[in-house]
Homo-oligomer: A and B are copies of this chain.
Amino acid sequence: MAKAASPGADLGKKGMASRIWCVLDSNGEPVTLDMDKAAVMHRAGIHARDLRILDPLLSYPSTILGRERAIVLNLEHIKAIITAEEVLLRNPTNEHVIPIVEELRRRLPLQTLENGAEALALLERTDSKKSGRKSSVQITPFEFRALEVALEAICSFLDARTTELETSAYPALDELTSKISSRNLDRVRKLKSGMTRLISRVQKVVRDELEQLLDDDDDMAELFLTRKAGSSTLTPALLSNFPASPVLGSKLSAVSRTKSLASTHGSDDDVEEVEMLLECYFMQVDGTLNKLNTLREYIDDTEDYINIQLDNHRNQLIQLELVLNAATLAMALYSLVAGIFGMNIPYPWNDDHAYIFKWVVVAGCMLCVGLFSIVMAYARHKGLVGT
């Protein structure tokens, strides 16, 4: 780790074509550096493949990768590399990243407690524990403080996006329900498509990353960089305690070799601590996902409702049209009768006028009303027209 000073020299030789990174160590002072790929790879001890994940041009999905000497974080706009001593943050000038730099500056130094009371309570608790069985967990390691800041930032970022979406979606849906218009439909379509993208982003973080980490103790142990850095010297020391018993020693190592990585890289207590940290943010993102899913269900239900509503509306329109058509038909019959008598062909009983006119008018009227009544009665009998 003594080579951390050299990349500056490398940079001088290569020119300034590379990208800007913000580096914070445990003092919490952000230093903005202009490093090329090789310098970053060298500084953080990661492979070129892993660095490519943070490339803003390639749209890699959200990831938390535990590597040999670093945690590679790619959570939406937060693209960072966390080592045991420092945090490298890409694009520190991005408007969403600036508050994270602020938060890191505030929380990375060891005095991370928010108010005096908490500090007091915690110290007391720590005291009470010191006499108990666990005396080594009083201070959260550097990498976890950095990881917590990043997770907190991404969780509240996603939650804020969700709340924004909710405040615009629910009124839009209610408006659509009361009035179906192309404008409202288009607005809801845009909201839905935004929601779909947000759900997939949240799910990517919650399900594919946090849940997977939580499910796999080895992967969680991988995140414990401080412990890993120390463990390489630990095991020989442990073995040297039993110099006279080679049988046991090798047996122990055989057993531990057959065990998963967890036991090599960190004890179960450490894993438990990472687990509690991740669990907490997992629940928060899960709550956000719940809200989004409720919104999705609401949109789907509204769509179903609108579909049935439109169908029902149409049927009622056609029912009224049917009544109008029946009336038109009845009148057409009357008109036909009138038309027949309006022909310019003379007929024998043309002379007996007065009473015939009345008869024709009354008979036509009865014919008209009769036809209309028959059609409507038939429709009502068949259940086509409501009561």
Q: Is A61 an interface residue (CB 8 A)?
A: yes
User: Quick one: which of B60, B305, B354 contacts A189, CB cutoff 8 A?
Assistant: B305
User: Residues of B contacting A311 with CB < 8 Å?
Assistant: 307, 310-311, 314
Q: How many angstroms from the CA of A370 to the CA of B318 in the assembled complex? A: 22
How many identical subunits does the complex contain? 5
Most B Cβ at <10 Å: residue of A196, A245, A294, A338: A338
Q: Is A312 an interface residue (CB 8 A)?
A: yes
Q: How many angstroms from the CA of A307 to the CA of B343 in the assembled complex? A: 50
- In the complex formed, the residue of B with least CB distance to A235 is B133
Q: Which of the segments A89-97, A98-106, A355-363 contacts the partner chain? A: A355-363
Q: Is A167 an interface residue (CB 8 A)?
A: no
Contact string, A36-57, partner B, CB cutoff 8 A, digits 1/0? 1111011001011110110000
20 contacting pairs across A/B (C-beta < 8 A): A49-B276, A49-B280, A59-B287, A185-B308, A193-B301, A242-B250, A245-B247, A251-B252, A313-B315, A314-B314, A325-B325, A328-B329, A329-B331, A331-B332, A331-B333, A332-B335, A341-B344, A342-B342, A343-B344, A346-B350
Least Cβ–Cβ distance between A215 and chain B, in angstroms: 10
Check A343/B345 contact, CB under 8 A, given A247-B245, A314-B315.
Answer: no
B336 and A329 within 8 A (CB):
no
- In the complex formed, the residue of B with least CB distance to A364 is B340
User: Quick one: which of B189, B247, B344 contacts A344, CB cutoff 8 A?
Assistant: B344
Q: How many angstroms from the CA of A263 to the CA of B298 in the assembled complex? A: 46
User: Residues of B contacting A189 with CB < 8 Å?
Assistant: 301-302, 305
Which 6 pairs show the lowest CB-CB distances between chains A and B?
A: A338-B339, A38-B121, A341-B343, A346-B353, A38-B117, A42-B121
